[in-house]
Structure 1
Amino acid sequence: VDRLDNKEIFNVLRMIRNSANFPYLIFLVPFDKEYAINALTENKIYNPKEYLKKIFDVEISLTPINESYLQPIFKNILNEFIDKGLGDSTSEEIAGLKQQVDGVFANIGLVNYNKPKYSTIKRALFKIIRNNRDIIRFTNSIKLSLKHNFDKLYFPDLIILELIKYENLVVYRKLFEGKNYLRTITKNERKVLELHTDDNKESPEAFSFIDSFGDYDNLILELKEDEKVNNYIISLVEGLFNEPEDQDFNSKLSIYYEFNYLNYIQFSINGISYEDIESLLDGKQTD
């Protein structure tokens, strides 16, 4: 019932209360208790907890879904899509992407995946993606991005950006809205992006893709002062602009390198079928 609004929840619970003693009738009602209590409070119920106790004779509290249960579901969906849904991909590209999927779910400290971007994803992923419904919605978005742009994107960066967008769209927009949060510096003869901080001492170069007005804004400080932004989002934003592992598949396509910036905000939509859109609208997984 926690998908209903406050008034609807109150009406459903009242209906259950008024008919609970009917013979041969049993109500099995799954709901988020805190959400229901809040709905009852909004409907001027004096003691919502006691109100619920008078309606339900038995209460069974479910434990949170464990990460170990969600991991194989998440991993299998992505691997199956990479195997079947990338069209013109080569066997080398498929192997590279699947290795990166393994890296996302590998234990921190193993192989070469104790790297900043993978570690950032590992810490935040199942704090943001909490159940099967989240997995389906999140992987649908990943699939649409990969389906037509897998050869233009660095997979860990895509995951980080999608996590930010899934959890806090306002923060996601800040990364691309044209404010001076990013600056360009030259490192190893390549132009790379970094977040502006008050500690930046090196003079920045002109950032080709964002209008620069000379004054830089400290995004991390701004996010830390915003009560609506949690620490996982802040760590994802910081991790996004860490240098990728040189040997990692498609690392040269990372958003860390200035030249790739537009690839992450101008995904091609050519070839997205009506079936893809209808599947998303129906809440189904895309192929």
Structure 2
Amino acid sequence: MDTVSTARAHGGVQGVYRHASAATSTDMTFSVFVPDHAPGARLPVVWYLSGLTCTHANVTDKGEYRAHCARHGLILVAPDTSPRGDEVPDEDRWDFGKGAGFYVDASKSPWATHYRMWSYVTQDLPALIAAAFPADMDRQSIMGHSMGGHGALTIGLTFPQRFRAVSAFAPIVAPTQVPWGDALTRYLGPDRAAQRRHDAVALIEDGARVKELLVDQGDADSFLTEQLRPELLARACRDAGIELTLRMQPGYDHSYHFISTFMGDHLDWHAARLRA
């Protein structure tokens, strides 16, 4: 692991790091905020998954999470959204390829070699965080935005014993039912069972369970009615008996102005469950 940069912030250290990933067969960059803590202490970990076109830098620069993490004693880890590099295949579109890994392990050529973001965020990077940072891996939670909200929900539903809390900002909740779901077909092929394993609504319909979810959604989000469809998650959670707190926020859009406004609420919610 190489250190790209570190800076003092809110009584802690905001770092950016790079390492060679076995999952993606590329170098990957990620950010970690570690608040000050007693020697030998192990701190809870919150994973933040970013959305389409983003890197680790978007939330690091604009998420306004550090004061809240410092107050609660939380490490926050922000991975990239896809593999990078000249050898990594790409397409000339903003919602597929680089910056749009959709947190799946691709099985179709030419994507399968490098686009293994599911393994990266569930196995590869957690092993590094556990070894290199004062992380208590028995106290983890996960959150994300848009495509990253999709990733947070599907990973949280798949590993309910690992993550004590799951939340999302404007998540893609049912990719198999919206246009952005084309990415799952491109990465995974036409196998509907494989696609359903990366669809939060389908996972719940197929029996995946968590106790509760927190979702914030702006009602002025331009992607709301065509791509995000929070009502589908609400219906699935109601039918499954999952306690969903879905907050429709008047006048808010899809941007980091929205995310940063409610970041503190989410981290308060995660901290309460990580302390339990």
- Normalised TM-score (structure 2): 0.28
Q: Which has the higher strand share?
A: 2
For the pair shown, the structure with the greater C-alpha radius of gyration is 1
TM-score (norm 1): 0.28
